[in-house]
Structure 1
Amino acid sequence: MIDTITEALNNLVDKLHGWLSAFIQNIPNLVLAILVMVASYFIAIYTKKLVSKLVKKRVSQASVANMIAKITAVVVVLTGLFLALGILNLSKMLTSLLAGAGVAGLAVGLALQGTLSNTFAGVVISFRKRIQLGNWVETNGFSGEVIDVNLKEFVLKEADNNLVIIPNKMVLENPLKNYSLTNRMRVNLECGVGYESDLEAVEILTKTTIAKAFKEVGSPDNVEFYYTEFGDSSINYLCRFWIESESLLEKLKAKTKAIIEIKKAYDREGVNIPFPIRTLEFNNKLAFEEASIENQFSNN
C-alpha cells in the first residue's frame, strides 16, 4: 500500500517537473503570444477609429458607421487571437475554436434570420448614393421624405406628417421611386368640357392659363394638350406640363394651383365643365296595357 502511494507521488512529481520544464521552454512563445494579443488590441482600437472616419464620409447614419467599425475591430482581435494560439502550438485548440464558431454562427444566423437580413439590408441601403436623407421617395405603397435609415428600419415622413416605419429588407427587395433624383416633375391633369364647347379655343385657353400660372413653363407651346375620349357627358382631355420640383408634395401643390386657375379661366370665358348626367326615361306603355286589361275583365 505504501509502495503504491509512493509511486503515485513520484509520478505526480514527474508530471509537475515536466509541466514546469515545458512552461519554462515555452516562456518565449508565451511572451510573444501576449505581445501579439496586446498589439492586436491596440491595432483594433486604431483601426476602429480609422474605419469609423472613413465610413462616415460615405454614410450619413452614425449607427451604421459604428457597426462597421466594431466589426472591423472584432476581426482584428480575432486575427490576433488565432496568431497567438498558433505561436503557442495550440493548433488543435485553434481548430476547435473555428469549428465551435462555425456552429455557433449557424445557430445564431438561423435564430436571427429576420433581424440579420434587416441589418445587412440597412448597410446596403446606407451605401446607396441614390437614397439619401431628405429625399422624397415612394416604396411599398408609401410615399414621403426619408428621415432615418438605421440597422433595423427605413423611416418615412408622409405629407400628412405621419411616420411610416418599413423594415429594411422590404425596401431592398421592392421597387423604390426617388422623386429627388431630378429637379423636374411632370404634372398630369385630366378634365372634361361640354359638347357645346369650341375645342380649339379650349385648348388655347388651357395652355395659356398654365403658362401664365407657372413661370418655369414659359411658353404655351411647352404645355401638352390631348383630347382623349368622348365621355358620357363631356369631351375629356389630358394636359401635361413640367415644373421645377424635387418633392411629390410640390407636385400636388402645382396640380392644385393648375386646377384653380383653369376653373377661373373657364368661368370667365363661359366654358362649361359638366358633371355626370343620367337621363331616366319612364315608359308608361305597360301601365296602359295593364289598365286596359283590367277594364276588360271588369266589363265582363
Structure 2
Amino acid sequence: MKDNAQNFTVGLQNSLIHYWNVFLQSLPRVVLALLILVASFYIATYLANLIRKKFDSKDHDPLFVNFLSKTSKVALIIVGIILAMQAMGLSGIAQGLLAGAGLSAFIFGFAFKDIAENFLGGLILAFNRPFSLDDTIQIRDFTGHVKALNFRTTHIKTFDEKDVFLPNSIVVKEPLINFTRDGQIRLDFVVGIAYEDDITQAISLIIKTISPTATIIKGKEPFTVVEELATSTVNLRTYFWADTFDYKKGVLEIKSDIIQLVKEVLVNEGFSLPSDIQEIKWYDPKKPFPIDIMNTKDDFFPNR
C-alpha cells in the first residue's frame, strides 16, 4: 500500500511537471494570441473611428457612416480571433471553422433566418439609402423621424413620442414614403360655398389669402379648382405646397393655419359655408307624417 501511495505521488509530480513544461512551451503562443486579440480590437476601433471621421460630413448620410463603421469593426475582430487561434496552434480548428463556414451558414440559416435577413436588409438600406437621419418617413401605419439604423432594426420616433423598432427586412420589402427627401409636399383641403356665391371671386380670394403663408416653389404656385357640385355646396379644392424638413411646423401647423385663414376670410367677405342638407322622403302620402312636437306653447312664447 505504501508503494502504491508512492507511485501515485511520483505519477502526480511527473504529470504536473509535464503540464508545466507544456505550458511554458505554449506560453509564447498564448501571449502572442492575446497580443493579436488586443491589437485587432484596437485596430478595429481605430478603423471604425477613422471611417466615421472620413465620411462624417454633410455629404454623407450619418446612418450609412454608423452602419459601415460598425460592420468594419465586427469583421476585423472576427479576423483577429481567427489569427489568434492559429497563433496558439489551433490552426486546425481555425481552418475547420473556415471550411465549415458554408455548411454552418446553411445549417444556421434556418435557425437564424430572420437575423440574417434583417442584417442583409440593413446592408441594403445602408448602401441604397432611401432615408437619412431625422428624415420623416412612413412605413405601414408608422410615421415618424428616423433615429438609427442598427444591424437588425430601424429605429423610428413617431410624432406621439413612441419608439418603434422595425425589422430591416420589413423596411426593405414594404412601401416606404419619405416626406423629407425632396423637402416639399403637396397638400390640399376642401371648402364648400353656397350655389348663390360667386365661384370665381371665391377662388381668387382663397389664392390671395394662402399665397403669403404657403411655401412657394418655382413653377408650383397654389391653385384652386371646382371639384364637385354637391347636394348643398359647391366644393372647391385648394392645392398648395409645404416645406417638409420640419414636418410638424412645415406641414401640420401650416395646413391648419391656412384652413383657418380661408374660413375667416370667406365668412368676412359674405360667403356662405352651408352645412349638408338632409332630405327626408315620405313614400306613402296617404299616411300621416309622424311628427311629435316636444316644445310647449310657453317654450315658444315665454313672456305670454
- Tell whether the structures are fold-level matches, with TM greater than 0.5: yes
Whole-angstrom distance in 2 between the partners of 1:79 and 1:152: 28
2:175 match = 175
Whole-angstrom distance in 1 between the partners of 2:104 and 2:243: 55
- Report whether the alignment pairs 1:245 with 2:244: yes
Match of 2:279, SS? coil
Tell me the matched-pair count: 255
Change (3 A) 1:129 1:115: closer
Match of 2:151, SS? coil
Tell me, yes or no, if the aligned pair for 1:194 and 1:273 is still in contact at 8 Å: yes
2:4 match = none
Whole-angstrom distance in 2 between the partners of 1:94 and 1:281: 87
Instruction: Give the AA of the match of 1:74.
Output: I
- Report whether the alignment pairs 1:195 with 2:195: yes
1:225 match = 224
Whole-angstrom distance in 1 between the partners of 2:189 and 2:255: 7
- Report whether the alignment pairs 1:73 with 2:77: yes
Tell me, yes or no, if the aligned pair for 1:140 and 1:171 is still in contact at 8 Å: no
Change (3 A) 1:95 1:136: closer
Change (3 A) 1:38 1:188: same
1:164 match = 164
Whole-angstrom distance in 1 between the partners of 2:125 and 2:154: 9
Range 249-258 or range 115-124, more displaced: 115-124
What are the superposed Cα offsets for residues 133-191 of structure 1, whole Å, 9 maximum, x if unpaired? 21111112211111232223222222222232211211122222222222333221222
Whole-angstrom distance in 2 between the partners of 1:218 and 1:248: 17
Whole-angstrom distance in 1 between the partners of 2:241 and 2:189: 11
Q: TM-score, normalised by structure 1?
A: 0.70
Whole-angstrom distance in 2 between the partners of 1:177 and 1:137: 5
Tell me, yes or no, if the aligned pair for 1:187 and 1:254 is still in contact at 8 Å: no
Whole-angstrom distance in 2 between the partners of 1:211 and 1:228: 20
Tell me, yes or no, if the aligned pair for 1:64 and 1:150 is still in contact at 8 Å: no
Offset of residue 53 of structure 1: 1.9
- Report whether the alignment pairs 1:49 with 2:42: no
2:12 match = none
Whole-angstrom distance in 2 between the partners of 1:95 and 1:223: 68
Q: Runs ≥4 in structure 1, deviation > 4 angstroms?
A: 30-43, 57-64, 79-85, 92-97, 127-130
2:257 match = 257
Unaligned runs of 5+ in 2: 1-24, 56-61, 289-304
Equivalent residues in 2 for 1:1-300 (5 A)?
41=37, 44-57=40-53, 58=55, 59-60=62-63, 65-78=69-82, 96-212=96-212, 214=213, 216-217=215-216, 222-249=221-248, 250-287=250-287
Change (3 A) 1:78 1:171: same
Instruction: Give the AA of the match of 2:201.
Output: A
Whole-angstrom distance in 2 between the partners of 1:32 and 1:163: 50
Tell me, yes or no, if the aligned pair for 1:154 and 1:165 is still in contact at 8 Å: yes
Change (3 A) 1:127 1:98: closer
Q: TM-score, normalised by structure 2?
A: 0.69
Whole-angstrom distance in 1 between the partners of 2:215 and 2:67: 41
Change (3 A) 1:84 1:102: farther
Range 116-125 or range 152-161, more displaced: 116-125
Match of 2:245, SS? coil
Tell me, yes or no, if the aligned pair for 2:156 and 2:165 is still in contact at 8 Å: yes
Whole-angstrom distance in 2 between the partners of 1:132 and 1:63: 12
Match of 1:233, SS? coil
Instruction: Give the AA of the match of 2:69.
Output: A
Tell me, yes or no, if the aligned pair for 2:214 and 2:254 is still in contact at 8 Å: no
Unaligned runs of 5+ in 1: 1-26, 289-300
Range 131-140 or range 63-72, more displaced: 63-72
Instruction: Give the AA of the match of 2:184.
Output: R
What are the superposed Cα offsets for residues 4-60 of structure 1, whole Å, 9 maximum, x if unpaired? xxxxxxxxxxxxxxxxxxxxxxx9xx9999899678546634541343124434455
Whole-angstrom distance in 1 between the partners of 2:240 and 2:95: 68
Offset of residue 118 of structure 1: 1.8
Tell me, yes or no, if the aligned pair for 2:144 and 2:157 is still in contact at 8 Å: yes
Change (3 A) 1:47 1:124: farther
RMSD: 3.6
Instruction: Give the AA of the match of 2:234.
Output: I
Range 130-139 or range 64-73, more displaced: 64-73
Match of 2:225, SS? strand
Match of 1:273, SS? coil
Change (3 A) 1:103 1:130: closer
Name which one, 1 or 2, has greater alpha-carbon Rg.
1
Offset of residue 119 of structure 1: 2.7
Whole-angstrom distance in 2 between the partners of 1:260 and 1:67: 50
Give aligned-pair identity as a percent.
20
